């Protein structure tokens, strides 16, 4: 079996083992962990293989391609392949799931089902990142989104059914738009006596009619954008995250929300370049609004998860903003920001879960002086906050700098001014992050929470793993950029002709 399909098969095997053989929490988490460690080895192997292939002069757009007919009657194939960006996204997914497993180490309610849903979700994500066929991609996309409903609805907290319903319905609504766009692409590709196709690389050669691009591009953009927290379609995110269990928030904000930017990059813009340029200025306004609006909203929040949700609106707004800038530097930044936000936000949600698990409170005004009570978690929270506000040495900085420089390198005053507006977010982010740490982490210790347990080893492992990668991106960005650049150079071609 080829190394890419394994990414989908191994999780399925893991799920099967779990369904058949595991009984309790201990076994379920062990199986999940082993399964994910296998995935990690596979991810590392993939990176090595990828570097070898590129090193030996293989400059194909996609590596390790496989094309197996699936639904021959309408020409949908199981066509897979990866390039630099997908390789990194797969690594991100693996690491976040591993961290999520550690964070859910003590989950009590239906542990087996919980881990199964988690892995199914991850399977969908893996499939999405390796798909080169719109149909296959959409199938995997839905596989990733649907377990979310169960995970929030069953293991969530607060108004979980409302939140799960809202999240699922909004994402489903967006999927419908996306499906319209995908089918549009499919049907219009039939011109010139050729049969219609879902194949991405094939579609790129056929060059979709410009009129159609203008109609279907915004649908695809909003369809993908909704899951990427595009303003004003982001409101599922605060409620959804607030109710979701920790590992689910981590995976959702850390990985699933990245599908939006990735989809726009890989499919929407690549297949509909003229449409993208036509709608560029309009969506840029939405993206910049999201960046500043998300940050300003976050100032007013007192619930840790809401702060983080709005922070995500702002930071993922930057991903969309960078993609819409349509130049290589900004796109490098968009991909780095996807990774960076993935790790940082997963770290945040992990910490929020750990703190909430101890205090049963998420309101920052009700906590104080946590530094003395849970020092490890507090230090980690400060690190996460500093990484989130773009401190050099952490991943956020290098990603944002690529985005800002890229935005500013456009020979267009309008885009430069918008970049200036986006830059203001670095100040606002500092305001809400420091407000949070000032209220919750620092200050005199309150009497209410004095005897809380210190961080456990599995919690420390999850945190250390995430911090490690945040620092690795922040200190050796060139290593990560070599993967990204290679992919960006190919996929930006249709847009900068």
Partner 1 sequence: MMNEFSYLYLIPLIPLLTFIFLGFTAKKIKEPISGYIGTASLLSIFILSLYTAYKYFFVVGLVDGKYQSIKIMLKENWIHFSDKLGIDIGLLVDPISVMMLVVVTTISLMVHIYSLGYMHDDTGYSRFYAYLSLFTFSMLGLVLSSNLFMIYIFWELVGVSSFLLIGFYFEKPSAVAASKKAFIVTRFADMFFLIGILMVGYFAHTFDFETLNSPSTYETIQNWIANHQIASFMGISVFTWALIFIYIGGMGKSAMFPLHIWLPDAMEGPTPVSALIHAATMVVAGVFLVARLYPLYFHVEDGFALRIVAVVGAFSALFAAIIALTQEDIKRVLAFSTMSQIGYMMMALGVSGFNGHEGLGYMAGMFHLFTHAMFKALLFLTAGAIIHAVHSNYMKDMGGLNKYMPVSSLVFLIAALAISGIPPFAGFFSKDEILTAAFEYNIFIWLVGFLVAGLTAFYMFRLYFRIFFNKQPDYGDHKPHEAPYTMLFALIFLGLMTMIAGFIPFSELVSADRMPFHSHIEWTDPLVIASILMAASGIGVAYLMYYKETSYPEKVATAMGKGYKWAKNKFYIDELYIFITHKIIFEHVSKPIAWFDRNVIDGFMNLLGLTVEKLAERIKIIQTGRMQDYAMYFVSGVIAIVMLIIYFN
Q: Contact residues for partner 1 (CB under 8 A)? A: 165-166, 169-170, 176, 179-180, 183-184, 187-188, 211-212, 215, 232, 235-236, 239, 293, 296-297, 299-301, 328-329, 369, 371-372, 386, 389-393, 397-398, 401-402, 404-406, 408-409, 416, 419-420, 423-424, 426-427, 430-431, 434-435, 438, 441-445, 477-478, 481, 485
Question: What's the closest the beta carbon of residue 430 comes to partner 1, in angstroms?
Answer: 5
Question: Which residue lies nearer to partner 1 by CB, 196 or 357?
Answer: 196
Angle at 379 between CA 373 and CA 385, to 5 degrees: 125
Question: Which residue lies nearer to partner 1 by CB, 393 or 453?
Answer: 393
Question: Which residue lies nearer to partner 1 by CB, 246 or 301?
Answer: 301
Question: What's the closest the beta carbon of residue 232 comes to partner 1, in angstroms?
Answer: 5
Q: Are 3 and 42 in contact (CB under 8 A)?
A: yes
Question: What's the closest the beta carbon of residue 130 comes to partner 1, in angstroms?
Answer: 24
- Phi/psi for 472 (5° steps) reads -65, -40
Rounded CA-CA distance 78/71 in Å is 9
Which are the contacts of 134, defined by CB distance < 8 A and separation ≥ 6? Answer: 182, 185, 186, 198, 199, 200, 203, 267
Rounded CA-CA distance 315/422 in Å is 10
Residue from 445, 340, 387 nearest 379 by CA: 387
Question: Which residue lies nearer to partner 1 by CB, 25 or 222?
Answer: 222
DSSP 64: E
CA 402 to chain centre: 18
Question: Which residue lies nearer to partner 1 by CB, 41 or 375?
Answer: 375
Question: Which residue lies nearer to partner 1 by CB, 76 or 389?
Answer: 389
Question: What's the closest the beta carbon of residue 149 comes to partner 1, in angstroms?
Answer: 14
Question: What's the closest the beta carbon of residue 434 comes to partner 1, in angstroms?
Answer: 5
Question: Which residue lies nearer to partner 1 by CB, 154 or 165?
Answer: 165
Rounded CA-CA distance 477/397 in Å is 10
**Per-residue tokens: 256:** 């699933």
Would you list the DSSP string of 275-325?
HHHHHHHHHHHHHHHHHHHHHHHHHH--BHHHHHHHHHHHHHHHHHHHHHH
Question: What's the closest the beta carbon of residue 31 comes to partner 1, in angstroms?
Answer: 29
Question: Which residue lies nearer to partner 1 by CB, 438 or 453?
Answer: 438
Question: What's the closest the beta carbon of residue 212 comes to partner 1, in angstroms?
Answer: 8
Question: What's the closest the beta carbon of residue 348 comes to partner 1, in angstroms?
Answer: 18
Which are the contacts of 412, defined by CB distance < 8 A and separation ≥ 6? Answer: none
Give, in order, the Cα–Cα distances in Å from 100 to each of 33, 121, 224, 272, 353: 10, 12, 24, 36, 11
Question: Which residue lies nearer to partner 1 by CB, 22 or 297?
Answer: 297
Helix (H), strand (E) at residue 332: helix 328-359
Q: Residue with structure tokens 């670095």?
A: 426
Helix spans in 56-197 (H):
84-103, 111-130, 134-155, 160-188
**Per-residue tokens: 420:** 């200036």
Three-state DSSP at 80 gives strand
Question: Which residue lies nearer to partner 1 by CB, 17 or 421?
Answer: 421
Question: Which residue lies nearer to partner 1 by CB, 404 or 449?
Answer: 404
Question: Which residue lies nearer to partner 1 by CB, 58 or 482?
Answer: 482
**Per-residue tokens: 290:** 């999201």
Question: What's the closest the beta carbon of residue 407 comes to partner 1, in angstroms?
Answer: 8
Angle between helices 25-55 and 111-130 (to 10 degrees): 10
Question: What's the closest the beta carbon of residue 416 comes to partner 1, in angstroms?
Answer: 8
What count of residues does the chain have? 497
Question: What's the closest the beta carbon of residue 112 comes to partner 1, in angstroms?
Answer: 24
Question: What's the closest the beta carbon of residue 247 comes to partner 1, in angstroms?
Answer: 25
Q: Are 19 and 134 in contact (CB under 8 A)?
A: no
CA 342 to chain centre: 5
């Amino acid at each position: 079996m080829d190394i890419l399909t394994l990414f989908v098969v191994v999780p399925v095997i893991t799920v099967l083992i779990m369904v058949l053989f595991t009984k309790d929490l201990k076994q379920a988490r062990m199986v999940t962990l082993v399964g994910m460690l296998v995935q990690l080895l596979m991810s590392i192997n993939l990176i090595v293989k990828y570097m070898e292939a590129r090193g030996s002069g293989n400059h194909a757009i996609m590596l390790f391609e496989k094309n197996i007919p699936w639904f021959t009657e309408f020409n949908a194939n199981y066509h897979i392949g990866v390039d630099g960006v997908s390789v990194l996204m797969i690594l991100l997914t693996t690491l976040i799931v591993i961290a999520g497993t550690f964070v859910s180490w003590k989950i009590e309610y239906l542990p087996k089902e919980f881990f199964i849903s988690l892995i199914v979700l991850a399977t969908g994500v893996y499939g999405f990142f390796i798909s080169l066929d719109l149909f296959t991609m959409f199938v995997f996309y839905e596989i990733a989104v649907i377990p979310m409903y169960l995970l929030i609805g069953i293991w969530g907290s607060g108004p979980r059914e409302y939140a799960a319903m809202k999240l699922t319905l909004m994402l489903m609504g967006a999927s419908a738009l996306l499906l319209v766009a995908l089918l549009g692409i499919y049907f219009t590709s039939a011109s010139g006596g050729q049969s219609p196709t879902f194949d991405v690389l094939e579609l790129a050669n056929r060059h979709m009619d410009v009129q159609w691009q203008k109609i279907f591009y915004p649908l695809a953009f909003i369809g993908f954008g909704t899951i990427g927290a595009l303003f004003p379609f982001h409101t599922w995110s605060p409620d959804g995250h607030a109710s979701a269990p920790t590992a689910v928030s981590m995976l959702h904000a850390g990985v699933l929300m990245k599908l939006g930017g990735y989809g726009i990059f890989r499919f929407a813009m690549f297949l509909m370049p003229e449409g993208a340029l036509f709608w560029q200025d309009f969506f840029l306004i939405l993206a910049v609004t999201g960046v500043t609006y998300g940050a300003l909203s976050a100032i007013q929040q007192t619930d840790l998860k809401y702060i983080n949700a709005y922070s995500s609106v702002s930071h993922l707004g930057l991903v969309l903003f960078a993609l819409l800038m349509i130049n290589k530097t900004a796109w490098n930044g968009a991909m780095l920001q996807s990774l960076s936000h993935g790790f940082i936000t997963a770290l945040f949600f992990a910490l929020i879960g750990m703190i909430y698990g101890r205090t049963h409170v998420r309101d920052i005004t009700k906590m104080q002086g946590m530094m003395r009570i849970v020092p490890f978690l507090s230090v980690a929270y400060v690190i996460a906050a500093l990484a989130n506000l773009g401190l050099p040495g952490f991943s956020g900085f290098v990603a944002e700098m690529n985005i800002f420089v890229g935005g500013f390198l456009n020979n267009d005053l309008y885009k430069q001014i918008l970049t200036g507006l986006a830059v203001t977010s670095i100040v606002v982010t500092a305001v809400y992050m420091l407000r949070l740490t000032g209220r919750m982490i620092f200050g005199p210790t309150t009497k209410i929470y004095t005897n809380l347990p210190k961080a456990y080893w599995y919690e420390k492992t999850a945190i250390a793993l995430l911090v490690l990668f945040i620092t690795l991106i922040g200190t050796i960005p060139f290593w990560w950029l070599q993967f990204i650049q290679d992919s960006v150079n190919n996929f930006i071609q249709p847009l900068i002709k």
